[in-house]
Amino acid sequence: MEQNKSLVFYHILAVLTIIIWGTTFVSTKVLLQNGLDPVEIMFYRFAIAYVCILFISHNRLWANSWKDEGLLFLLGITGGSLYFIAENTALQYTQASNVALLVCTAPLFTALVSHWFGKEPLHKNTLKGGFVGLIGVALVVFNGSVLLEINPLGDFLSLASAAMWAFYCLILKRLEGRYPTLYITRKVFAYGILSLVFYFLFYPLEIKTDILLRPVVSYNLLFLGIVASMVCFFTYNIAVKHIGAIKAINYGYIQPLVTMVTSAIVLSETITVASLIGAVFIIGGVYWAEK
């Protein structure tokens, strides 16, 4: 009984994390509208998170082996630099609805990657629930529109970010129980930032002081860095550790629903009947996949 109660807590933790992440599309969109580019947003977001987490996790530097250190580096680029650069850049080339839909294929990618590389069983309910969830996501993000503009580059980048997150979850599972969650989270931020050095060698970082000092920019960067990155990466890593990668990532289908509500409040976007029907499919799909 106590174990079941404990698992319920970690499921709730995963849901709360996804709810917060669902609001980050709006924050990122605001920052893009204010003149920051996708790489700058990712860099400032992770830099803020890393500085903050150093106050509570700073004693240990290296992992137990170079193999584990390599896995931590892969976490930093799959769940950090590559994921966020692909997702943020996709917003510049295709519709936000395309990005949100395709990024939410991450649960299916995770199920397949975990089955092929992690030897985890692939349950029929996972696939069926994932399919139902995708229908709901489509209704929500397309808002009932029958016209869809296709941009191969933007759509490819969206799928790439979903695939990166799937590999992130798989690698995270391999490090389960060997290191404190805070330590792993700190290393993700560190290697996410470090991997950007290769990008900045060709495209040097420009400090846009006039933009960074705008209150709307500062507040959104602090939210993305402290809450959506430092706190949420920590809580998500804990959830994956206790309920598994596939179950944790299946809650990602809730994210477009949260984005829809947040966009309506902040950006005055309309919530349609199609969106509400989609919400039912999303929740139903998550429930089915979790059975």
- pLDDT digits over 23-58, tens only? 888 898 899 989 999 999 999 999 999 999 998 888
Determine contact, residues 120/278, Cβ cutoff 8 Å. Answer: no
pLDDT at position 34, please? 94
Phi then psi dihedrals of residue 25, to 5 deg: -60, -40
Task: Name the band, by pLDDT with cuts 50, 70 and 90, for residue 147.
Answer: very low
Q: How far apart are CA 199 and CA 210, in angstroms?
A: 23
Kindly report the number of other CB atoms within 10 A of residue 200's CB atom.
Answer: 11
Helix/strand number for the chain, H first, E second? 17, 0
- Between residues 220 and 61, the one the model is more confident about: 220
The helix/strand/coil state of 100 is helix
pLDDT at 276 exceeding the cut of 50: yes
CB-based burial, 15-25: b 16+ in 10 Å, e otherwise: eebbbbbbbbb
Phi then psi dihedrals of residue 143, to 5 deg: 55, 35
Residues in CB range of 34: below 8 A, 6 or more apart: 211, 214, 216, 217
Q: Which residue has the tokens 């990008």?
A: 199
Q: What value does the mean pLDDT of the chain take?
A: 83
131-138 mean pLDDT: 78
